[in-house]
Every structure is written in structure tokens, then in C-alpha cells.
Structure 1
Amino acid sequence: MLHERSSDLAIAAKVEMPIEEFPAAPAPDFDRYARIAVVHDWCPNFRGGERVLAQICKQLPNAEVFTLFDFLPAEVKEQYFRDVQFHASPANRIPLVRKFYRSLFFFCPFLIEQFDVTGYDAVISSSAAFSRGVITRPDQPHLCYVHSPVRYAWDEQFSYLEQGKLGFGPKGILYRYMLHRLRTWDTRTAHGPDLMLANSNYVRSRIRHIYGRDAKVVFPPVSLKELPCVEDKDDYYVSASFLAPYKRTDLVIRAFNEMPSRRLVIVGEGQQSASLRALAGPNVTFSGFLPRRDYIDTLARAKAMVFAGCEDFGIALAEAQACGTPLIAFGRGGAVDIARSLGSNSEPTGVLFKAQTIDHLKEAVKRFEENSHLITPRACARNAQRFSEENFDRAMLDSIGAVQALHTIT
């Protein structure tokens, strides 16, 4: 079978140009009932990446999931992955591995290469780290949906090392060497997929910078039908995310500590839960993880969502928009794709600030309050239509068909 590499390796367009529309030409025919191996890094719980995984499996009735670690509760699988077969790596059986699986990152490239997916009609990798490196046949279509290049191995390495207090002692040197090895492996496997899809223009630019490849932007799916637009807002701000250092919830809390008249609700849990609670002033409350219905209600009734991190995309930000909730966000990463920034659009849906500092965030809150009449819930909800599940489904099936066409006998 002939395999002609497409021109997706060429860098043909500027990163700044958003890709939100898809060609009107019909996609190549693709059999949705083909046997597809969907390879996902790991499934610790049901967050943004797992929502993308669920939507992919929803389109492909005969898809099977391969993942390094599978900790999804039975009720989540029943709701989102009914009749989907999961294959986990042998490391998933290590006692108490849920507590330290992230520390096994140095072992994950080896583990991902042990999955035998060569008997499937096609492979889709859902990758923020390792899944793209799965071994495929030369004539096997391989589409990769990139949530992010490996954050802690590339541009965010120094931030992670600092947070882990890993200097240049013996442990720090060992970790730095392991990350060096990971970068070598990551670069070697970068050209395995026939086509890469990026979840945002920011990730697209990182793919170009790190791997020298271009990618097509396909925004993650947002379940708009379960997100009502609420126009009658309560008097509080919300920040919703996994409480990890790179989310910069600490910066949001510090800023609101200096604005004691404004109430902030923090939704989520994570490795920083205890330290962030200790940092918070009396005007900051924590809800922890919320059931889906309560989460949506909290998001929808907030006067604005505040986010100070640099997110690859940020499904929670898009969900807030669908609920009619404006965004106050750091102007880098996926937030730039999601929010229509005040001052740059005729129908703004949020305020973006330039630097991750307390003063810039406080100024953004002030600017939002002074111009809140210009940012309407209806405008936010209309903006979120770009992130519908239907748009995602169409783009994914078009892309799978295009990759399959590369392997057609000529």
C-alpha cells in the first residue's frame, strides 16, 4: 500500500490566523463502524480531556480505548462510555498507583509502546503527553488530537521544577536528565501521526515551535444543550478548575483578598487545595468538586468567571460563556480563542489582562465592572456556539476521512 505524506508538515500560515471554519467540500467517505483504537494518555478522572475522549467514542461505535491508567468510576463509564472497551497498561495494577502515577512519567513512553493497536483499521491518539507515541503500521491511518505538547518537558519545565523544589541537587539532576530523555523521545515520535489537530491556536503555535509541524485547529466539544444561558446574575465571581499550580488560582485569591467587598467562589479540588484554603480571605469560599448540575448552576449565576492561568484551551471557560457568564482571563492561551475581548470586538464577551500580576487582575475586574453593560449574557451564549459538539463531530470525521485518504491505493 502506498503511503504519501501530506503537506501538513509544511508551515504555511501564520499562527495568529484563527481556524474556525472547515472547507465546504465533502469529506472523504469514512466508515464510522470501522475498528478504531483510541489511545489516551491516562484517565484519572472525568475532566476536559476525558470529555473529548468521550465525544470521540460517541462518534465511533466500534472504538476501543487504550490508556496507561484508568481510574474512572463505574458510573462515569456507564454515562459516557457505555459499551466502550478499555485497555489499561500493566502499571494500572500496581497497588495504590493512583497516588503516584504522575511520578511514573519516565516509564510512560515504554508503557505506551507496549499497546498493540496494529490490528485496528485506524488509530486516533488523544495526547497531552504520551499517547501519540503508540506504535502503528506504516499503512495504518493515525490522527492525533493534541491537547498540549508535554508541558513539563518543554516550555513549562522550569516552572514545574521550581514548584517541586527540584534544584541542582541529586534528585533535581535526576529529574532534569529524565526530562531530557523524555524530550528526545517526544521529538522522535512527533512525526508518527499523519495529521495533527490542535485544540487551540495557542497549542497550534506550540506544535510548530516544538515539532516543526503545522496543525489544524479543532476546538474541544462543549455540551451546549445542558448549559442554559442565565441573564439574572448573582453578586459573586467564580473560578473553576483543577487546583494545580499552573492554573494560578493563587493569583486570583490574592487579588480578591485585596478586594474584600467582592465575593469569590472557588470550584474544584487538587494538589493545592489545602494551601489555597489557607491563603484565602473571608470573602473567598470553596465549594470543592460539585455534581454536574450544581457546577452548572454556580457557573451560570456568577457575574463573571475569573481565570489567571495559561490554559491550552479551557473547556470550563467555554462552558461559562455558554451559560451567559463573561470571562476575566489572562490574555494568553485558549482564553484568547474563547473570549471576545472588550475593546477589540463589537460584541465583547470578556476582559483579557496582559500580565499575571495582582494589579493587572484587579484592574481587569474594575474594567469589567465599569463596562459590564457592554458584555451581555446573550452575546456570551452566542459566542459559545462555535464550540458545539456538532462542530467538533464534523471536524473530527472530516479529519479521519482525510487521513484515511492518504493511505488509499493509487
Structure 2
Amino acid sequence: MPFKDLKVAIVADWLTNFAGAEKVILTLHHHFPDAPIYTTIYNSKKMPGFEEADIRTSFLQHWPFAKKKHQLFLKWMPLAVESFDLSEYDIVISSSHSCAKGIITKPETLHICYCHTPMRYAWDDCHNYIRNSNLPWLVKKMVPFMMQKIRLWDRLAADRVDHFIANSSFVAERIQKYYGRESEVINPPVDTENFHISEKPEEYFLAVGRLIPYKKFDLLVETFNQLGLPLKIVGTGPEEKKLRQIAKENIELLGHISNEELRKTYANCKAFLFPQIEDFGIVPIEAMASGRPVIALKKGGALDSIQEGVTGIFFEEQTPESLTEAIKKLEKTTFDPQKIRQHAQEFNSQRFLEKLDDFIQRKWQKNP
């Protein structure tokens, strides 16, 4: 497809911390190096890899505390994204889990939204978001009134998208429910080539992620306290102190470790644990790229990436009993590390870009 003959722009919600959504933006940037990136707020100190990118920010960029506390400015983000002038572009790709899809484009411009999730704190996770946030109690009382307006805007903004791409089947279902729109699933890119298979894996189980409530590290600690099996947890977060207090000697909380050490830790684990509901889930792919099987909750994005009995084992409920049953089942199952890694390659950056290019080409040909 002759992308060089078309003017392309990329739009991101915000670029203030490097995580899964920002990895997609970086992949798009490398694929479309001449495309400017529009975003509400940009913190260059937290975004490695974007040094040469043409970043174009909104008026929020210059507001006090915006780079460190972007969540406080959600009320103004609809106006911020609507302020972007995208009239010169043929194709605009928005990468959105919040407001980026609400950009305004010309009728002849093709707007494709890569949707990581409908805005969680406006829809299915609204009540949990308010309850579990660290916001002052007065702000918590005010948030529902603000979210009602955000919710109405978000639903209208979804109609501005010409075509949706969902990052998983789980997200596709929510796009249909909350926006009434069809979408095509293209799973996000994972750097599978950076991981390797160990010749002599060890006996410990592994979990990786930010230590926050919904990721259910407390379930892992409770279960492994009972089983007495070795468990290593990589990551930091507000739950760390509590987890250290309740964890027994068979459980190691490693905190933050280097990327090199993380790759070794993946490769040498007996199995990887993924007890939470995620929109997709990058870390199970990294574990599988290391040839290790995954024990995952049978919900959410894990259903797209894990093959029962081939690359891992599912458990049904977020309880110690259900997880223990899956661990016992894994102990009796033989896994082929090469087959597991081969499956993980289906989620690499090259496959992502091949699918994305095919999608854009099909939609551009039909664009009036």
C-alpha cells in the first residue's frame, strides 16, 4: 500500500508514562515515521523512544501538574482533542482508551480507532474506579456528576470513528455493548524476539505487574501461603507493603528489576500466573515467548492468547481453591517450550503491522 502518497496522523490520549498503550503508539511511530503524533499531554522524561517524534500537544500541556497528574484533567480532555486541526490528513489513527477517538476529522478523512478499551471509568468499571481511587472524599462525591457528562460525550465521540479495531475479543464485546459498533480484533504488538527459552527452568512460579488491587496479587499470596510452593512476584505499587506483611517465606517480592533480569526470571520459572481480568495482557505473551506455560483466569483478554493444554491452563474463579486446582492440573501436564514460544510469535510486532496494513488498505479502498 503506497502510504508515502498519503498524509497520516496518529492521535494518543496522553503520553505521560510508558505502558501497553504507549507501546502501540511507538510501534505506529516506527511504522509511520513522518506522521505527527497529537496528544493532550506529553512528558518526554517518561517516554523513551519518542525523542525524534513530531509530538503536537494540546493547551493542557502547559497547565500546572498536567505532566504528572493527567487524571485530574479528564474534564477538559474532550475539548483538548476536539481542538486538534486534522484537516490536512488522509488517514488518522487514534489509539484510545479514553478521549482520543473524539477527534474531529473531515468527511473524506479515514479515521481508524485502535481501541484498547471503552473508557473504563465511564462505563463498566465506573463504581470500582471511584471506590478504589485515592481521591479525597469530597472529590469522590463530585466524580459521578462529572462522569455523567463524560459518558454522554464518550458515546457521541464513538460515532466520529469510521472503523474500530479492538485489541481483543473481550474489548470487541464492550465496544459493541457501549458504542453499538462492530470492530475487528488485532491484538497489540509484543517484542517476543527479546525473550529466550531456558535449558534448565527452576521450580518457582512467577507473576509480574503493578501491585494494585485488581491484578489480584493478594489471591496469589493467599494461595501460595497455603501451598508452600515457591513464588516470585516482580513489580511495585501501593499493595506492596500489605503483600510483604502477609507473604510467607516461600514468597519473594522482587520489586523493580532490570529488563535483562526480568527476561532471565521469565525463562527460568516453572509457570507464569495471570489471575486478573485484563483487556488483553502483554505479560503472558512475554512468558510464553520464554517457552513457559501460563495459568490464567478464564476471562478477559487471556482467552485470545492462551491455548488450554498447549500453552497453559485456565482456572474458573478468583479463589484459592480454583487456582490450586489449576496448579495441580499443570503439574500433571507436559508442555513443549518450543510450541509455546512458536504460539507467542503470533503476537509479535511484524504480525501486528501486517494485520494493521491489511485493515487500513481494505478500509481505504472503500473510503468514499
Q: TM (normalized to structure 1)?
A: 0.84
Aligned to 2:175: 207
Q: How far is 1:111 from its partner?
A: 1.9
Counterpart of 2:15 in structure 1: which amino acid?
C
Question: Does residue 1:217 correspond to 2:189, yes or no?
Answer: no
Alpha-carbon distance in structure 1 between the residues aligned to 2:138 and 2:64: 27
Separation in structure 1 between the aligned mates of residue 36 and residue 325 of structure 2, nearest angstrom? 48
Whole-angstrom distance in 2 between the partners of 1:259 and 1:93:
52
Q: What displacement does 1:208 show?
A: 1.0
Q: Which has the higher mean CA deviation after the structures are superposed, 153-162 or 123-132?
A: 153-162
Is the alpha carbon distance of 1:193 and 1:178 closer, same or farther for their aligned partners in structure 2, counting shifts above 3 Å?
same
CA distance in 1, matches of 2:41, 2:240: 23
In the TM superposition, residue 383 of structure 1 has moved relative to its aligned partner by 1.2
What pairs up with 1:62-77 in 2 under 5 angstroms? Answer: 62-73=34-45, 76-77=48-49
SS in 2 for 1:258: helix
What is the alpha-carbon distance in structure 1 between the residues aligned to residue 46 and residue 138 of structure 2?
41
Q: Aligned partner of 1:392: which letter?
A: F
Query: 1:360: which partner in 2?
Result: 322
Say if 2:124 is the partner of 1:155. yes
* Per-residue deviation, residues 37-61 of structure 1 (Å, max 9, x unmatched): 2111122322211111111111112
Percent identity, please.
Answer: 33
Superposition RMSD in Å: 2.2
Provide, for residues 205-236 of structure 1, a one-character-per-residue CA deviation record: whole Å limited to 9, x for no partner: 11111111111111111222212223421121
- SS, match of residue 148 in structure 2: helix
Matched residues in 2 for 1:181 and 1:308: separation?
A: 33
Unpaired stretches in structure 1, ≥5 consecutive residues: 1-28, 343-347
Bigger relative contact order, structure 1 or 2, given CA contacts below 8 A and separation 6+? 1
Letter in 2 for 1:362: T
Does the 8 A contact of 1:252 with 1:307 survive in 2?
Answer: no
Cross-structure match for 2:146: 178
What amino acid sits opposite 2:26 in the alignment? A
Mapped partners of 2:279, 2:44: distance in 1:
23
| Paired AA for residue 267 in structure 1 | V
What one-letter code is carried by the residue in structure 2 that aligns with 1:60?
F
Runs (5+) with no aligned partner, structure 2? none
Q: Distance in 1 between matches of 2:78 and 2:211?
A: 26
Measure the CA separation in 2 of the matches of 1:72 and 1:166: 26
- The structural deviation recorded for 1:165 is 8.0
Letter of the aligned partner of 2:7 in structure 1? R
- For 1:221 and 1:32, the matched residues in 2 are separated by 23
User: Which letter does structure 2 place at the counterpart of 1:203?
Assistant: V
1: CA distance, partners of 2:143 / 2:166: 28
Contact persistence 2:44–2:51 (CA under 8 A): no
Contact 2:267 2:292 in 1 (8 A): yes
1:281 aligns with 2:239: no
Please give the TM-score of this superposition, normalised by the length of structure 2. 0.93
Report the Cα offset of residue 98 of structure 1: 4.2
In 1, the alpha carbon distance for the partners of 2:16 and 2:269 equals: 28
Partner residue of 2:365? 405
